[in-house]
Amino acid sequence: MAKRPKIFGLLAEYETPADLYKACEKVRDAGYGAWDAHTPFPVHGLEKAMGLRPSLVPWIVCVMGFSGAALGYLLQWWTSVVDYPLVISAKPFNSYPAFVPVIFELGILLGSFGAVFGMFGLNRLPTYYHSVFNSSRFSRASDDRFFISIEARDPKYDPDKTRELLESTNALSVEEVED
């Protein structure tokens, strides 16, 4: 008995960004949660059409930046007040104006690390394999075509109803993708 391949979901192809935008609004309004849009270039406003929340990256950068600044201050304070205090020209041990360059630089450094690694983590990068790569049509996603993929793991996914929804969005083609 032949083993039936596991289905990843459905993949719909569109010719223009406007077609994709309208289709994303329909899929969002239908209540799907496990789906994505694939484009060769950024499409303005697509995140709103998809109903995506604002990114967490700015919060990660803020926390990491302030952590870096606090770490820079703490490091300098500890070395100049606790570990090796030196009286230089009758200045106080805790002379924070002298600490500003290091505080600034460590804030920027850890903030930039937060931006890069936060973006990688939230985007689940690097991703070496995705099931949509099994579609021969998907190779045009980096050239001149636009796609929507709806995953079979979505609670609202029904092969026939989901296919009807995607076909009603004027898709050029709708195909089932194997996992």
Q: Tell me which residue has tokens 């926390």.
A: 63
CB 20 within 8 A of CB 39: yes
Domain 7-54+137-174, CATH 3.30.2320 — does that match? no
* Amino acid sitting at position 23: A
pLDDT of 2 higher than 80:
no
- Distance CA(30)–CA(173), nearest Å, equals 19
pLDDT of 1 higher than 70:
no
- Over residues 6-23, the pLDDT tens digits come to 999 999 999 999 999 999
Cα→Cα distances 119→59, 61, 70, 114, 165, Å: 11, 10, 23, 8, 32
Mean pLDDT of the 36-43 span: 96
Q: Tell me which residue has tokens 């099994």.
A: 134
**Residue spans in the chain of domains classed CATH 3.30.70:** 7-54+137-174
148: left (phi over 0), alpha (psi -120 to 50) or beta: beta
pLDDT of 5 higher than 80:
no
CB 39 within 8 A of CB 46: yes
Report pTM.
0.79
R_g of the chain, CA atoms, integer Å = 25
Nearest residue to 27 via CA among 12, 8, 17, 42: 12
CB atoms within 10 A of CB 139: 10
Model pLDDT, residue 95: 84
Task: Evaluate the omega torsion of the peptide bond into residue 126 and state whether it is cis, within 30 degrees of 0.
Answer: yes
Residue 147: which H helix or E strand, with range? strand 146-151
Model pLDDT, residue 147: 97
- Over residues 56-91, the pLDDT tens digits come to 999 999 999 999 999 999 999 999 899 988 888 888
Q: What are 177's two structure tokens? A: 């993708």
Cα→Cα distances 166→7, 12, 100, 170, Å: 17, 7, 57, 7
